[in-house]
A and B are shown apart, each in its own frame.
Chain A
Amino acid sequence: MKKLSMLGLSVPVLSIALAGIFPAQVKAERLVIQGSTTVFPITVATAEAFMRDNPGADISVRGGGSGGGVRALVEGGRIVAQSSRPMRHKEKMTMQAAGRNPVEHTIGLDGMAIIVHPNNLVTGLTMKQVRDIYAGRITDWKDVGGTPGRIVIVSRDIGSGTFGSFVDIVMKKEAIHPGAIFQASSGAVVEAVSGSPHAIGYVGMGFLDERTKAVDVDGISPTVENVVSGIYPISRPLFFYTDGEPRGLAKQYIDFVFSPRGQEIVAEQGFVPVK
């Protein structure tokens, strides 16, 4: 019995200890990109294409949320941070105080889609209705023109850039009702909404597929054209952040993302190219 409890104790202790001894170390010829799960599909697809063209290059892409990526960069990690929200003032200050200079690269735009179950009769909502639903003031689908039924609010966890953008753009800093379901990734939001006829969720446009239905917001559909022209109300830039101007492999890769081929991949992934 004693042996067992010791075992239970020492396994987490060991893994924590290992994580402390071997932090994400990066060799010069290796590039690590870390952060937003929204930007993740773009990064993976462009990195794969880049590595096919440059067999010597070694790029690894990690998720973890915008906050995690930006924090790793701020705290001195030799990485490229991918983020679906701009770096905060405080984060920039911390980095500059350490004598380093964050450089922002806007690699694409993302329209944020409001999604519902495919069987939901609602096809459009106003910004105010979305805000009222997420704040818990509208609780039944019949109040927004749907079949009666209690609305299930699905949100990203607060560690995500998507959450931050949603709170900024849609909620105008108002609190999301604490009774919401919180999911750890955009994929999990799609999963939850596709499985629940009464659910509403929000994800980047790249996550739209036949499993859920995107509703119009203020009468505008979340399409690439509407985001480019600026009439779709919920859109945001997607960023890479580097410590100083990128050099070496990081520069080659970021140049590739901005190349016509790279921007084509951005569009293929369901996002809006910037060039």
Chain B
Amino acid sequence: MKKFFRRGKGIEFLFLFFALASVFFLAGIVVVLFSSGLLILRTVTLREFILGRYWHPLFYEPPAYGILPIILGSFWVTLGAMCIAIPLGVGAAVYIAEVASPQLKEILKPVIELLGAIPSVVYGFFGVVALAPFIMRLFDLPIGFTALTASILLGLMALPTIVTISEDVISSVPVLYREASYALGATKLETAAKVVFPAAFPGIVTAIILGMGRAIGETMVVMMVAGGSAIIPRSFLQPVRAMTATIGLEMGEAASGSPHMHALFGIGCVLFVLTLLFSIAAERFSIRFRRQVGI
């Protein structure tokens, strides 16, 4: 009996360790990220870093560490991705949860989830060989590597997150709501549009924000198809450079301890703060949803 108890304690501590491991690693990453990233402020002011228009970190004298075009590049591709993923994703979720027959649902859900299982480099490859040439011909552009090309792919990649979570949310709206609505004489469509959707709305917002987090953090695709021009975007049909792609492309050349390396870590900090804000917002909406439908 005593032995059993001891073993139980041991296992408990083991699992406590597992639970704390993530926290520990996260703390480590945050410390490393910010202790290196904030050093860029010894070279340039925060204002010059965030609002500077020129990114010439290497080979040039004097170097310039302005990341405004890069931040805007990330925002543009993410915005574009959401313009594609929100209508498609939420629409698909409503259809699957409310309209589709159980058999169709059995097919649709796994297929959409499979989209999320495709490695991002495969999306990128598809973008380079198929989508970029198509965009180039469609809009008669000099080159197909544009913000739009990256947006379409990122939109596809964010879809599974948005569809899966939205669908779960819509399905978890209590049956009581629907029954009450039917009892008042509402049709299935009216119930979906006027009762279920508003009830599920904060949860759907959570889904969208998590999808945005996926899009803004994605590296491979934007590196392969967005073009990488560090200029302030004025149209979806021009090449842009995202924060993730900048870090991915340039980490190899930056000497450790150099302002360039600190600037790349600084970009990492900006990205971290943004995704953290997304996560906090998603959590807030999630709590509001659960409170609203009483679960």
Residues of A near any B CB (own CB < 8 A)? 1-2, 4-6, 8-10, 13-14, 16-17, 64-68, 71, 75, 90-91, 94, 149-150, 152, 154, 157-160, 163-164, 167-168, 173, 175, 178-184, 188, 191-192, 195-199
Identify the interface centre among A158, A181, A191: most chain B CB within 10 Å of its CB: A158
CA distance A181 to B147 in the complex (A): 12
A10→B22 contact, CB < 8 A: yes
- Taking CB atoms, residues of chain A closer than 8 Å to B56 are 175, 178
**CB closest residue in chain B, given A182:** B228
Q: How far is the CB of A165 from chain B (nearest CB, A)?
A: 11
- CB < 8 Å neighbour of B239 from A17, A181, A184: A181
- CB < 8 Å neighbour of B136 from A160, A173, A195: A195
**CB closest residue in chain B, given A164:** B59
A182/B256 contact (C-beta < 8 A), A1-B203, A150-B142, A198-B142 known:
no
**CB closest residue in chain B, given A63:** B252
CA distance A179 to B230 in the complex (A): 6
* Other contacts beyond A158-B59, A182-B241: 20, CB < 8 A: A1-B206, A2-B286, A5-B210, A14-B25, A68-B251, A149-B142, A150-B142, A154-B143, A158-B57, A158-B58, A164-B253, A178-B54, A178-B55, A179-B231, A182-B228, A182-B249, A184-B248, A192-B143, A195-B133, A196-B144
B82 on the A face (CB < 8 A): no
Identify the interface centre among B26, B59, B164, B168: most chain A CB within 10 Å of its CB: B59
**CB closest residue in chain B, given A155:** B228
Residues of B239-270 at the interface with A, using a CB-CB cut-off of 8 Å, are 239, 241, 248-256
B181 on the A face (CB < 8 A): no
- Taking CB atoms, residues of chain A closer than 8 Å to B251 are 68, 159
**CB closest residue in chain A, given B210:** A5
25 residue pairs of the A-B complex, CB under 8 angstroms, read A1-B165, A1-B206, A2-B286, A5-B279, A6-B22, A8-B214, A17-B25, A91-B255, A154-B143, A157-B228, A157-B250, A158-B249, A158-B253, A159-B250, A159-B251, A175-B56, A178-B55, A178-B56, A178-B69, A180-B228, A182-B241, A191-B128, A196-B136, A198-B142, A199-B143
**CB closest residue in chain A, given B145:** A181
- Taking CB atoms, residues of chain B closer than 8 Å to A90 are 255
* Chain B residues touching A, range: 35 or more
B165→A4 contact, CB < 8 A: yes
- Taking CB atoms, residues of chain A closer than 8 Å to B136 are 195-196
Kindly list the 9 A-B residue pairs having the minimum CB-CB distance in the complex, ordered from nearest: A182-B228, A67-B253, A68-B252, A159-B253, A157-B249, A159-B252, A65-B252, A196-B143, A198-B142
